[in-house]
Structures are given as C-alpha cells and as structure tokens.
Structure 1
C-alpha cells in the first residue's frame, strides 16, 4: 500500500480477527508496529489464520464471544481503536437461521459498541454490507439511496448502521461503517456450505470440477480485493471526524468500499480459468454448469466510491484482474 496514512503506535482491537478479513487486518497492523488484540470465538474464524500473529509479542488473543458483554469489556481494555469485523455472514445462512444471525450481528454488535463507548475508544470502525441496498434499482449504489432488505442478514447489517449513528448522536462515540462489496483474497475459505463464490470456484477448478453458477451468469458484483479493504479500514480510523460531521446527508458516517467496476459471473469464471490454467493447463478444459437463481440474491451490485475518495481519501489500488491474479497465486500455493 503506497498511502502512508496508516494506524501506528496504537492499541487496536480487531473483532473477528481470526476470520478472512480480520486476520489480514491483524497482520498488517502488527507489521506497522501496533499492539493488536483479537477477539474471536472461532465459530467461523480459523486458528491457523493467526499463526503469524501469535509469534508477535504485540499480539493478544482473547477467545470469547461478542454476545458476551464481559468478553467485549475484556477485549477492548486500553484500546485506541476498534475494527469490528465479527459477524455471521452469508445471506443463505441468515435465511436458514435468522435467529442466530440476528443474535450475533445485532446483539453482539450493540454489546461491542457499548463496551467501546464505556472504554472511551477514539473510533469504532465496523464492517457494514452492500446487502443493505436491498431491492434498490439505483446504479451505481450511493450511500444515501437504499431499498428494502432482501434477507435477515441485510436487515442485521442495516440495523448496525442505525445503532452506530444513534450511539454517535447519543453518547458521542465516533463511528464509521464500511459497506463492503464482495471482498475476496488470501485466506478466504473455499469450504463449507456458505463459501463465497471466488474461493469456491477456485477450489472446484483446481479439482477439475465444473462450478455451478446460479442463474445464467449475468448477475454482477463489484468484487473488491482485500488490500482495498485494509486501506479503507485504516483511513476510516484516522480521518478527521470533522470531515464527517460537516456532511448533511442521512448516512453520513457510512462509506462504500469497493473498486467501482462491475463483473458478471461469466466474466469472473473466465478470468479465474485463465489465471489457474497457467498453473495447470487441464483447467482450461473445465466448463461451467448453470443452475437456479438463489433466494435473496440481488441481480447487480456496483458501488459509487466518490464519497470515500472525497472524505476518507480512499484510493483502491487493486482492480479485479490484479486482485484475482494475486488470489489465484495464493490459493495455488496454499490449498
């Protein structure tokens, strides 16, 4: 990352720090000389994601659950910033089990937010979601125009935004939400029923199996490489909050985190196949299978990132082609 506006000489809590995004944040913050605390219950996170961090004297692992307020209080002790990544992701998971998704994503969020307020942290940055846009047909997506949510997961992530803004207005704690758009990259888990599309396709291609695309492959997403997300979190933590207070819009403390380009699933499959074929020529013979559309899926997602550029100084460096090259190389070497 060329941008030098980074978190340094600070104590930072990363909730969900054993997960895909969280562990990448943990490693980068440690590289920059910070003290880092990870709070994780390993429901979806992996201990091996913390192998590097556990060798660092500036790292502390708190094994606990954001649904337990005492764990939140213990983890945030003495911290300057909180980067809140802990959640139960996945639209299909939330449709199958809305109770647990709500318990974790809303109940746990409020407990962590209140613990941070009580501890007096400088800034609470949290993972919001592009699913909040719901059935809005506005394209590209701008922060202040959302539709009706299409899943319990989307409802929980929107509720986080409402709670965060209320805590800022009521208690004065500085909060910033980052609406992630389809993040991918190293350590994203290809296994399990709720695996994201990119690692799942990669694993299937490497096994010479035909991936299944839900629908006809024309659904599109603004795929966002992990390095762009790391940049956005750091900028959100250190930007002057006066810049945000001056905004007059409703979702003033929420920002899209994406690259700002749309790729459909057919294009994605072809890019992955091309990249992986360089490691194994047999992959070039694998073709896709088309299935039914998936409940709760939005057809298209494309972010307008002007607000993040103007207020945070966000400048994503990784387009999908560059990000997929990096990701495919990592999966080939580590799977």
Structure 2
C-alpha cells in the first residue's frame, strides 16, 4: 500500500493496520491510550474552555493526566473557566479548530484527543448556517487530521440532532397531564414493516434510527457531516474513534441561555423570577437529561478501551428514567424554591423542534458497563446551590 510522506512530522505514514512507519523503517503504533488502561496521557480537548470541555479537563487532570485545552473563547462565559483550568494545571492554548495553523501552537507529544468544540444552538444555526457548517463540520475535519497525523485516538462529541425530525414526528404519541408520551399501544398495532427501526416506546431512540431523508436542523446537518467524517476516517485510516451522540447535557457551571442549555436556564429563570415562555406543546415537551458527572465518567470508560472502537456510535443520554417535561421542571423548581415565575405560552412550534425525545442507552450500558447515576432531583438541588453561591455574578450576567 502506498505511503504519504509528511515532512513536517518526519514520518512516512502507512494506511496499513493502523500503524505508521518512521523514517528509519520502525513501526509506530497508535498512541498508548488506544491499547491499554490510560494511567497517564497527554490529552488535547478542543473546545476545552466550554461547559463540557472544561469540566472534562479538570476531571482528567485530577486523574494525573496532562491536559491541554484549545478554545477560541467565542462563547460568552468560557473565558471565566480559564482561572479554574489554570488552578488544576491545565494548559490553555487560544486557537480555532477551523484554522490549521492554530494546531501548530499546540505542545508536542499529544496522545489523545477529545473534540468538544461546537456551536451548540439549534436556533442560531438558522441565522448563520455557514458558521455552523465551517465550525462544526470543517473544524472537525481539522481535528481529525491532527489526530491522524499524530496517531491519537479520538472521542467526538456529536448530537442526537443528527436523527431526522420528520421520522421522529411520525412516531405515535399521546398527551398526558404533564407530558407528552410515546404511545406503546398504538405502536404495537402498527404492522411490523411500518415500525421505525431504532425505536422502542419504552426505551427511546437507538443508534439505528434514521439519519437520512427529511430535516434535522442546520445544526444537526453540521454535526451529521462531522459524525460521518469521523466514521469514515476510522475505517479509512484504522483510527480508534468513538462517536458520542449526546442529548441534553446539564450541570453546575453552565452559562445557559434561552436557545441552549435549557435545564440550567429554567433553574436560573425561576430562581431570579425571570419571565419564561412555553413554545409549542403547552410546556409538555419531553427531553432526557444527562448530567455532567455522568458524561465525564462515560468518556473515561471509553478512553480505557479505545482499541475496541473504529467509528463506533453511542447514543448517550439520561434515558427514560431521567426525562422531564418543561411543566414538570416548573413544578419541581416551584417546590424546591417555594415560588414560581411568570410563564406565558405560544402555540407556534420552532423549526425542527420535537415534542418528545429520550435516549435508548442500552448499547452504551452493555459495552461500557455503566448507566447514568445522577438523578434529576439531586442534580437540581446542586444546580440551585450553585446559583445561590454565585448569585451576585449570575444576577449581573442575566440582568436579574
């Protein structure tokens, strides 16, 4: 098989059995994190100053890993995470994943890559689609190239928004007192050949659900391109890559806003009595929630078995047992705070929005031997405590 001479790295890289050949002919394997339990690795986290990336960086640094984060700090609030990262010995590099020259500023010896960089708002994608696609798609290809040339296993943070909204809307559902539910009885009555693949009314949406045909949002499109690129690179270059399709992620330290991070935004708005609005479905729309502690724990488990993965896809979410409607979130917060806030309702549904989604976690649970452990009730207690401890700064940030 032909080789590619890459002078910058002084390596002749062969696309054979996942190895490269050095100039002197010796064979160089993939970085050690792909083959054994990773006791201490030099890890790059792109988008590492953001909500998820910064928490993952701190967690990994506490496990004796050397961590470098690269971030362009375009997300409001991400700069406030830099002090905490520095306290934990995490190296910060200002850079943009869209710019290949920014990768040249990274320290040498990186052994593992976690790509958490993204423009994460579904709503924002419609106002600036080119930014979504260049950042979320082209940016990931830049990260893949960096990982390929440096022989690094890669974990990519994808999204459940890759699944086709039109197919999701076709699933039978019914309206309950506080939430919309998938209708198991109506599902059973459908002819087997008419039932959507990758769906179970009790467990939710699995990795086999449709990604072709119909809308998924501009954001979803941008992540689907990146998702597919990761799978293709894994097979083309025998790269150890895991693709995680996350749903709603929430936790303390999240600078949430109306169009992204709704769980923490709902808590902040109730705490400061800021006005809210149910947009579509009268507040009965349902999502499952995966809390940040579980995200980090699942990623750490994957890091220890990367030799098993070649573009493997995992749906990671809170699952049916950790699902919540907006109305139920309102009731929970009113009970915990002893007060509510003004909430209006709008019938119009946002483009590519869904009345119900929760994740079928069974593949990940079987392979990684772990389920989500943090419950909604205890996590809301922690979120509210975080708001109390940071009341002054949050009040200023949100104009409360």
- Do the structures match in fold with TM over 0.5? yes
5+ unaligned residues in a row in structure 2: which ranges?
1-35, 169-198, 395-400
- Aligned equivalent of 1:29, options 60, 65, 76: 60
Match of 2:264 in 1: 199
- Aligned equivalent of 2:356, options 272, 297, 300: 300
CA distance 1:273–1:50, shift in 2 (3 Å): farther
Match of 1:54 in 2: 86
| Number of matched pairs | 315
Q: Does 1:256 align with 2:315?
A: yes
CA distance 1:285–1:20, shift in 2 (3 Å): closer
Q: Does 1:69 align with 2:100?
A: yes
Q: Does 1:126 align with 2:156?
A: yes
Give the Å deviation of 1:288: 2.4
TM normalised by structure 2 equals 0.74
> Greater strand share, 1 or 2?
2
Deviation per CA, 1:52-81: give whole Å up to 9, x if none: 22124x421110100011223433731121
- The answer to whether the Cα contact below 8 Å between 1:228 and 1:257 also exists between their aligned partners in 2 is no
Deviation per CA, 1:273-307: give whole Å up to 9, x if none: 323x1xxx4xx243422123222212211111110
For residues 144-183 of structure 1, what are the structure 2 equivalents within 5 Å? 144-147=208-211, 148-183=214-249
Match of 2:176 in 1: none
Give the Å deviation of 1:255: 0.5
- The answer to whether the Cα contact below 8 Å between 2:242 and 2:306 also exists between their aligned partners in 1 is no
Give the Å deviation of 1:213: 1.5
CA-based RMSD of the aligned residues comes to 2.0
5+ unaligned residues in a row in structure 1: which ranges?
246-251
Match of 2:295 in 1: 229
2-structure distance, mates of 1:71, 1:236: 27
Q: Does 1:309 align with 2:365?
A: yes
- The answer to whether the Cα contact below 8 Å between 1:218 and 1:264 also exists between their aligned partners in 2 is yes
CA distance 1:198–1:7, shift in 2 (3 Å): farther
Paired residue secondary structure (2:106): helix
1-structure distance, mates of 2:107, 2:355: 39
For residues 210-225 of structure 1, what are the structure 2 equivalents within 5 Å? 210-215=275-280, 216-225=282-291
CA distance 1:204–1:83, shift in 2 (3 Å): same
Paired residue secondary structure (2:216): coil
Deviation per CA, 1:8-38: give whole Å up to 9, x if none: 3111111111101011101111111111000
- The answer to whether the Cα contact below 8 Å between 1:92 and 1:296 also exists between their aligned partners in 2 is no
